[in-house]
Structure 1
Amino acid sequence: MAIKVIREFGKRITYDPQGITKTWRGNNICKDRSTYKGFICAEVRSKTRVVGVKFNGFNFNGRNEKLTFDNFIEDLKDLVIFHVNSNNFTGNIPSQINKNPHFYELDLSNNKLTGTFPMSVLNATNLTFLDLRFNNIVGLVPPQVFKLDLDVLFLNNNMFDGQIPDNLGSTPVLYLTLANNKFTGPIPKSIGQASNTLLEVLFLNNQLSGCLPYEIGLLRKATVFDASKNSLTGPIPHSFGCLVRMEEMNLSYNQFYGPVPEMLCKLMNLDQLALKFNYFTQVGPECRKLITKGVLDVSMNCILDLPSQRTPAECSTFFSQHGSCPDEWSLNYIPCKINHSITQDISDRAPRSAMRPSPSYAALIEPP
């Protein structure tokens, strides 16, 4: 059955620079590894079956530069994974993928998918990995996507717009990347509900606005947070001192102002704190130690006694026009008990030889 489906699909491929489809011959699909390249077999219900498609980097294309998934992905009944990044697939994802109870990884990144969010994906309720980055998908992200039991959700480098759904915090994902889209409005306060799951979250290079919700400080397991290159404003909430595992934080190229919280600068795992191109006015002694160590970058702000700052005219213009945050009280609210055993003087901390790779930042790099 799988051989028949594969051969029919192969007829639609008119561009195959690596000659992959030439190996789709004979009947030894699961016996001879030199045949049927791009397919993975395994034992399922006591029989050998085709369980995976891995076309990463094959650069397939079809007639008139159209290559769809129709009568392919849904006809391979035992699929567990479907990885086809860096090809030229177009069209929609068949809704029948929800009929396979074992289907749990879908990677469609770096293709030519257009239109709005593929709602058929929401039917695949057993997915744990969803990667739609580097396509041309437009419109709103449906709230239902944050109800999927995913570990990884990469939606970056598309043209999604509108506000991020309010139920963002319902997601159980570990790695969330919404960067390089056209999202507007605030970061949802519900983000704090994902305190037991989110490890890395990237909002960078959108059009987000408003003040940071203190609920971000509830992300006690988060190691990476990047909301740079937006239009966010207000002071940094003191709750950020609760981010005890934070290693990299980037809030650069926004409109933040006020003092940089000393509690944030005392977090012992912090390797990078980028706050450049904002309107901060004060840094205390702990933050100054981070500057000396090269951990904190506060260039192009409004800190009078530091070099490489904005001009007095720029700062004066900003402070004569900026508004205040609607929930001023929340900026001083600390939703945790600061444990001094998990903070220490930066001068006592040994430098790390190498930072661990970040899956979320890696997702911002287009596959070759």
Structure 2
Amino acid sequence: MQMRSLSISTSFLFFAVVFHSCLAINDDSLIKRKALDIIIGGGEGPSPDDEPPPCKHFENENGCFENERLAKAYEVIQRFKSKIKVDKNSNRYLKTWCGTDVCKYSGFRCDIRPDVNEKAVAAVDFNGFKFEGCDGTLPLDGFLDELDDLAIFHANSNNFTGTVPFRASKIKYLYELDLSNNKIAGNFPMKTVGGMNLTFLDLRFNSLRGSVPPQAFNLKLDVFFINNNRFAVQSLPTTIGDTTAVYLTFANNNFTGSIPPSIGRARNLLEVLFLNNRLTGCLPYEIGNLSQATVFDASSNKLTGPIPLSFGCMKNIQILGLANNQFYGEVPEIVCELPMIANLSLANNYFTSIGPACRRLMLKKKIDVKKNCIFDLPNQRSEAECAAFLWKTTTCNRMETLFLVPCEIHGYYSENSSDGDQSAAADPATRTYSTLSPHHRL
């Protein structure tokens, strides 16, 4: 009887141990299962303490934004992003276009919009990004014109196509527009840019056609670059002198006719490039009124006649380019005596003589008179070639004005006259010549 009681007690103890072990295993499995459920999204989920804080600003289906302006910009940017061809180049930038903080996206800058005192996307800088469209097109429509708060849009060297959208004219604070070296087509976007408050307009290296309207020179621009387009053959507008531009380039287009005398009214002008067009006629003496100009280049045209003596009034000129034309006569000493002259390019013309001041510039390698008709100098045209040209030269209209020196009349020429050695820069820094390179970013 005692042995039976012991056996029962032993069996009960063994059962209790096993049952307790099973409970322990089941409890541990339950804990592990709950943890697994939470990890894969089931079960009880995170506690309220783990939830993100509520949006304190502006929230929509895309997330939380500092304000409604940035939320709209996010939508515009994401729509534009979907149109860009994704490759190794573009992905460097596009991979940053994630999340709701658009101010940290590569190519975008934010600032406080002054009239509403709110942060907004104030600048787009895509210079050199080389974006292309998925289907070969990359329109500005729906992007440029939807970023209402822009002050600056720079997009040199991309593949934007189509035209400049008219709705962009409503962007209140946009003052710099650079679409250079793209595939912009159509006519000059006068209606669009005419409604803006631009001070900087760069449309060079595109496929713009038609004419440049005279009203374009009434725009209150400091910088106006339209070189290297496909404009129709046209004369320079007589209103060119109304421009407020400091830097102006017409180079490598199809402008014809003469340079209008009104150019002398463009008193803000520092640098102007007329080179490589089809300009004809004589230089107007009014160019001499550009006393602040540092660069004047009309090389590679069909201009003719003597150099007006008024050019001696261009007291700040550093680069004067008249090469590859049909100029003739004597190179005026008054021009070679300009105090700041560093590069006087007169090659490939029909000049017949130069004086002592010009010869001193030759020694300093500041003047180039190769391929002219100055027979006591090397590398000149043949006598027969010079005789054939000079036999058929015609006189200029207003011939008497070629001998006027307006600064002498107004009493300040003599104090500026020098030997061309006052403070001339050895290698003058210029801005407009860099526009002749499509990829240069200004």
The bucket for the TM-score relative to the shorter chain is over 0.9
SS in structure 2 opposite 1:302? coil
SS state of the match for residue 65, structure 1?
coil
Give the superposed CA RMSD. Answer: 1.5
Residue deviations 1:150-173 (CA, integer Å, cap 9, x gap): 010111111223111110000000
Aligned residue in 1 for 2:415: 341
Is the 8 Å Cα contact of residues 164 and 184 (structure 2) preserved in structure 1? no
The whole-number CA distance in structure 2 between the counterparts of 1:351 and 1:331 is 26
What is the CA deviation profile of residues 283-304 of structure 1, one whole-angstrom value per residue up to 9, with x for unaligned ones? 1111111112111111110112
- Greater shift in the superposed pair: 358-367 or 334-343: 334-343
Q: Equivalent residue for 2:235?
A: 163
Deviations 1:15-45 (A, max 9, x none): 4523122221111122xx3xx2111100113
Cα distance per residue 1:167-199 (max 9 Å; x no partner)? 00000000001111111111111100112x000
CA distance in 1, matches of 2:178, 2:195: 13
Deviations 1:317-367 (CA, angstroms, capped at 9, x unpaired): 101222111111111111112533322224x65764x43421101111121
Aligned counterpart for 1:257 among listed residues 328, 351, 369? 328
Match of 1:123 among 178, 194, 198: 194
Q: Is 2:298 the partner of 1:227?
A: yes
Contact 1:106–1:127 (8 Å) recurs in 2? yes
Aligned pairs for 1:159-238 within 5 A: 159-160=230-231, 161-195=233-267, 197-238=268-309
CA contact (8 A) 2:121 2:150 kept: yes
Q: What residue is the counterpart of 2:102 in the other structure?
A: 29
SS at match of 2:234: strand
Aligned partners of 1:176 and 1:201 also within 8 Å: yes
Q: What letter is aligned with 1:223?
A: T
- Is 1:61 aligned to residue 132 of structure 2? yes
Q: How many residues of Structure 1 are paired with residues of Structure 2 in the alignment?
A: 361
- Secondary structure of the 1:13 match is coil
The answer to whether 1:81 aligns with 2:183 is no
Q: 2:36 maps to what in 1? A: none
Structure 1 contact 104–129 (Cα < 8 Å) conserved: yes
Q: Is the 8 A contact 2:240 2:262 kept in 1?
A: yes
Mean CA deviation greater in 357-366 or 165-174: 357-366
Identity of aligned residues (%): 50
1 CA distance for matches of 2:419 and 2:429? 25
Structure 2: distance between partners of 1:15 and 1:253: 46
Report what 2:171 is aligned to: 100
2:435 matched residue in structure 1: 363
Q: Is the 8 A contact 2:97 2:106 kept in 1?
A: yes
SS in 2 for 1:184: strand
Q: Could you tell me which of 325, 329, 339 is aligned with 1:268?
A: 339
The Cα shift of 1:136 comes to: 1.6
Of stretches 120-129 and 145-154 in structure 1, the one that deviates more from structure 2 is 120-129
User: Which amino acid letter does the alignment assign opposite residue 139 of structure 1?
Assistant: G
Structure 1 pair 192–351 and aligned structure 2 pair: CA distance change class (3 A): closer
Deviation at 1:316, TM superposition (A): 0.8
Rounded Cα–Cα distance in structure 2 between residues aligned with 1:268 and 1:274: 16
The letter of the residue matching 1:41 is C
- Asked whether the 8 Å contact 1:175–1:198 carries over to 2, the reply is yes
TM-score normalised over the length of structure 2: 0.79
Asked if structure 2 preserves the Cα contact closer than 8 Å seen for 1:93 and 1:120, the reply is: no
AA matched with 2:289: L
Give, in whole Å, the separation in 1 of the partners of 2:212 and 2:367. 34
What secondary structure is seen at the aligned counterpart in 2 of 1:249? Answer: strand
Task: Report Cα offsets for 1:66-109 as digits up to 9, x if no partner.
Answer: 11011111111101011111000110111122212211000000
Structure 1 runs not aligned, ≥5 long: none
Corresponding residue to 1:306 among 377, 402, 405: 377
